[in-house]
Amino acid sequence: MKKVLIICGTGVATSTVVAAKVRDHLAEKGIGATVAQGKVMDLVGGDVDADLIVATTDVPASVTVPVIRALPLLTGMGQDEVLDEISRALS
């Protein structure tokens, strides 16, 4: 099963909103994946246990896992495109 890591500055506020939207979308599309939340400082070492990162903040350049910018999931503008990009990345 694929693992998606939702990252924001503190791992609490915006990541919770984004995680709920991603979970709902993946369930709707029948895509099996676990969704976890974290803070950007969790990524500093570069060793990330995830197949995809969905981030509301900048991610360190040392991270080699694919990253999708999640701001549209907070604003609603471009949300469908980002959700489709997440689906494609996990397929």
Tell me which residues are annotated as active site.
8
Pairing between β-strand 52-55 and β-strand 2-8 as defined by DSSP bridges? parallel
For residue 38, the 8-state DSSP code is E
Specify whether the CB–CB gap between 43 and 59 falls below 8 A.
yes
CA pair distance 46, 29, nearest whole angstrom: 30
Specify whether the CB–CB gap between 31 and 84 falls below 8 A.
no
